[in-house]
Amino acid sequence: MRTLFTYIMVFPRRSAFVLVALLAAGIAEGLSLTALLPLLSIAVGEVNDPGIGQFMVEVLQSIGIEPTIDMILLIIVGGMFVKGLILLLASRQVGYTVAHVATALRLDLIEALLASRWEYYLRQPIGSLANSVATEAYRAANGFEHSVNVLALSVQVLVYAVVALFISWQATLASLLIGLALLMILHRLVRATRRAGAKQTHLLRHLLTYLSDVLSSVKSLKAMARDNVADAILHDQTQQLEKATRREVMNGAALMALQEPILAALTASGLYLALVIWQLSLPEVMVMVFLLTRILGLLNKTQRRYQQLTVQESAYWALRQAAEDARAAAESTTGTRVPTLTKGIHLHHVTFDYDKKSIFTDLNITIPIQSFTTVMGPSGAGKSTFLDLLCGLTEPKSGEILIDGISLHDINLRQWRHMIGYVSQDTILLHDTILNNILVGEPTLDATDAERALHQAGAWGFVSALPEGLQTVVGERGGLLSGGQRQRIAIARALAHRPSFLILDEPTSALDPESEQTICETLKKLSKELTIIAVSHQPAVINAADRVFVLSNGEAEPQLQTLSGA
Ligand SMILES: Nc1ncnc2c1ncn2[C@@H]1O[C@H](COP(=O)(O)OP(=O)(O)OP(=O)(O)O)[C@@H](O)[C@H]1O
């Protein structure tokens, strides 16, 4: 029930729309069926019976329609057509709304995750995220559909019961009591379905997290003949998932299968009481049967919908929890000062820890503008962490990072990051054109910016020589280009928005000496206009740099440039 109300509170306008549409369809159906009553009255020759039959006859007569059998049959069939039409519109509305709910939930999670702190983001398993965006959002949106249906059916039961009270309060009361008993008898099945749904949500998350990890390292696992171990674990998890799905299906089928016979037994008992014990007249009994089957039929439908909701609701809560956790870990951007980079960057007595692990104890580095600085150091010395600090992805524990003399803490971080061009260690290009790989959806940039950036990155030569130039599709992960070409495209991407500060993490680690040399020359040229900092151990990059720092023991030592004439 909590899920039902939460959905309605979260999507009030859309819920109202869908509810109205579903109710309209239900009422159209109800009205056309109610027309059966006068037909029954006329059929048994009791035109003057009290209650709805008489009422319907009077209504028809007042609008000039004689309630003959053929006319009433026509009304019933016409009513069904109208109901079909309304149902079509309602289904369309439901479909659109379900798609909207799935999109809203997906975007909510993605936005919350992208706005979270870098450290938090790093800890999120990609498989789990993919599962949330694909499976959980889809299941949660279906849960919304079931919720609104449960509500619409409940309202229909209520309306029907109120109308039925005027026809025969005894029959209505009996129907409601029987219905309630039926709901209680079968509630165990609904509870079991909820448990199976929750289990599926849990297992799917684990399975996809594990699967994405396995798939990303499948080559090495295969090479060491360890893929069967991963396969066994995946197999086990998939089997558990299948078991949970089977349990869900079984409970759903059991509910369907038991509702009918129990309902038939209860109705038969009611009929026996009415006909044999209380000896009611045939029209009275017919009205009773009609109300009983209608009300109980609606109650059964409501319970089945509710059961379907319980299968999906855990996906909604899991998704919501993921978004809430991400929001709780949101990056705090308190700085408001507009950044400039006309003097330089200075790290002043910076200390930094990861939990209890000390990374920097006293970091002091000055990076003048329009210079090329290289940072090196042993693995785990904190080179990537140093770059994260410069981008404001992490904050120092103490000390300051000064940009033109202003603490990064006081600077508007988004504006500062707009001034940065970042080239990561692993260049992953999108399976798209070179142009789109450079612009990556930035609406303020166009092909002229891409061309200029390619010139700056020393890549225009090979791009313009391609038959399709900027429109060349680079293949999966850029596989149709050489390593050096990919790297230069990545540099062009980082330069397209005219950054003032270019950060490169191991920019040449995967390149052959010739490509490396080309990139180093490019960087050297660029450092006449930009401030560049690169993490690298490659002699060519170190030679090309104006200044080199070695990170070790939590500090930065400047290293004299002996290798180059730089
Ligand atoms: N998010 C994190 N949480 C906890 N510890 C971390 C985190 N990121 C890095 N570390 C640890 O901090 C240390 C420095 O990591 P960092 O990635 O900055 O080193 P690095 O010099 O770039 O290493 P490499 O050259 O191997 O890439 C490492 O010991 C690493 O295990």
Quick one: pLDDT at residue 566?
Answer: 40
**CA 438, CA 460: separation in Å to the nearest integer?**
12
Q: Which of 143-157, 211-225, 233-247 has the lowest mean pLDDT?
A: 211-225
pLDDT tens, position by position, 525-546: 888 889 999 999 888 889 889 8
Residue ID of nearest Cα to ligand 1 atom 6? 354
Tokens representing 314? 């855990």
Domain 2-328 homologous superfamily, CATH: ABC transporter type 1, transmembrane domain (1.20.1560.10)
Most confident of 55-59, 82-86, 368-372: 368-372
CB contact at 8 A, 390 and 503? yes
Kindly state the tokens that stand for 441.
């959806």
**Which atom in ligand 1 lies closest to the alpha carbon of residue 386?**
18
Q: Is the pLDDT of residue 57 over 80?
A: no
- Tell me: pLDDT of 238 over 60: yes
Share of the chain above pLDDT 90, in %: 26
Decide: 143 and 312 in contact? Cβ < 8 Å: yes
pTM exceeding 0.90 = no
Q: Measure Cα distances from 439 to 279, 360, 417, 452, 493 in Å.
A: 83, 36, 16, 12, 7
**118, 351, 383: which to mutate for ligand 1, most atoms within 8 A of CB?**
383
Average pLDDT of the segment spanning 166-175: 76
Taking the CA atoms of 80, 83, 89 and 95 in sequence, report the sign of the dihedral they define: negative
Checking if the pLDDT of 362 tops 80, the result is yes
How much is the average pLDDT of 7-24? 79
- Pick the range with the lowest mean pLDDT from 233-237, 336-340, 501-505: 233-237
More confident residue, 361 or 563: 361
pLDDT in tens, 79-92: 778 878 887 888 88
Contact (Cβ atoms closer than 8 angstroms) between residue 487 and residue 511: yes
User: How many Å lie between the centroid of ligand 1 and the Cα of residue 423?
Assistant: 18
Q: What is the pLDDT of residue 56?
A: 67
| pLDDT of 563 | 45
Tell me how far the alpha carbon of residue 380 lies from the centroid of ligand 1, in angstroms.
Answer: 5
Q: Rounded mean pLDDT of 286-308?
A: 83
Contact 515/483 with Cβ under 8 angstroms?
A: yes
| Cα 108 from Cα 99, distance rounded (Å) | 14
Burial class (CB in 10 A: 0-12, 13-18, 19+), 415: middle
Q: What is the pLDDT of residues 100-123, one digit of tens each?
A: 889 999 999 999 998 898 888 888
Ligand 1 pocket, residue 356 CB under 6 Å: no
Higher pLDDT, 553 or 282: 553
Protein residue with least CA distance to atom 10, ligand 1: 354
How far, in Å, is the centroid of ligand 1 from the Cα of 331? 20
CA angle 82, 87, 89 (to 5 degrees): 100
Q: What is the pLDDT of residues 182-207, one digit of tens each?
A: 888 888 999 999 999 999 999 988 88
Distance of CA 424 from the midpoint of ligand 1 (Å):
15
Ligand 1 within 6 A of CB of 353: no
Residue 226 to residue 239: CA distance in whole angstroms? 20
Mean pLDDT comparison of 224-233, 236-245, 502-511, highest-scoring range: 236-245
- Compute, in angstroms, the gap from residue 384 CA to the centroid of ligand 1: 7
Which atom of ligand 1 sits closest to the CA of residue 382?
18
pLDDT for res 478: 63
Q: Ligand 1 centre from 507 Cα, in Å?
A: 18
In this structure, CATH architecture of domain 344-559: 3-Layer(aba) Sandwich (3.40)
pLDDT level of residue 565 (50, 70, 90 thresholds): very low
Is 379's C-beta closer than 6 angstroms to any atom of ligand 1?
yes
More confident residue, 248 or 231: 248
Average pLDDT over residues 314-343: 89
In this prediction the ipTM stands at 0.95
Tell me how far the alpha carbon of residue 538 lies from the centroid of ligand 1, in angstroms: 20
List the end-to-end C-alpha distance of the chain, in Å, as a whole number: 71
Residue 470 pLDDT > 80, yes or no? yes
Q: Is the CB of 119 under 6 A from ligand 1?
A: yes
Any atom of ligand 1 within 6 Å of the Cβ of 382:
yes
Segment 455-465 mean pLDDT: 86
Within 217-281, where are the H helices?
218-223, 227-272
Ligand 1, residue 123: give the atom nearest the CA. Answer: 1
Q: Give the residue, 62 or 346, on which the prediction is more confident.
A: 346
CA of 160 to the centre of ligand 1 (A): 66
The sign of the CA dihedral 41, 43, 44, 45 is positive
> Which strands make up the sheet holding 344-354, listed edge to edge?
357-368, 344-354, 398-403, 406-407
535 three-class SS: strand
Distance between CA atoms of residues 427 and 490, nearest Å: 6
Cross-strand bridge partners of residue 330: 116
Residue found by looking up tokens 């016409």 in the block: 78
Q: Identify residue 84 by its one-letter amino acid code.
A: G
Q: Strand pairing partners for 421?
A: 502
What is the spatial distance between Cα 317 and Cα 200, in angstroms, rounded to a whole number?
A: 13
Q: Choose among 536, 528, 537, 462: nearest CA to 492.
A: 462
pLDDT at 474 over 80: no
Element (H, E) at 323: helix 282-328
Residue nearest to atom 18 of ligand 1 (CA): 382
Length of the chain equals 566
Q: How far is the CA of 180 from the centre of ligand 1 (A)?
A: 61
Average pLDDT, the chain: 83
CA dist list (Å): 212 to 99, 204, 217, 231, 539: 26, 12, 9, 13, 36
Q: Sorting pLDDT into bands at 50, 70 and 90, what band is 388? A: very high
Distance CA 499, CA 406 (A): 19
The predicted structure's pLDDT at residue 33:
64
> Residue 374 pLDDT more than 90?
yes
Beta carbon of 122 within 6 Å of any ligand 1 atom: yes
CA of 362 to the centre of ligand 1 (A): 17
Report the residue among 361, 385, 388, 390 best suited for mutation to probe ligand 1: largest number of ligand atoms under 8 A from its CB. 385
Q: Whose CA is nearest to atom 17 of ligand 1?
A: 384
Q: Is 124 in the pocket of ligand 1 (CB under 6 A)?
A: no
CA distances from 438 to 97, 121, 127, 442 (A): 36, 24, 27, 9
What distance in Å separates the CA atoms of residue 447 and residue 438, rounded to the nearest whole number?
A: 9
- pLDDT of the residue at 54: 67
Q: What's the average model confidence in pLDDT over 431-446?
A: 87
Residue spans per domain, the chain:
2-328, 344-559
Residues near 168 by Cβ (< 8 Å), separated by ≥ 6? 51, 284, 287, 288, 291
Q: How far is the CA of 466 from the centre of ligand 1 (A)?
A: 40
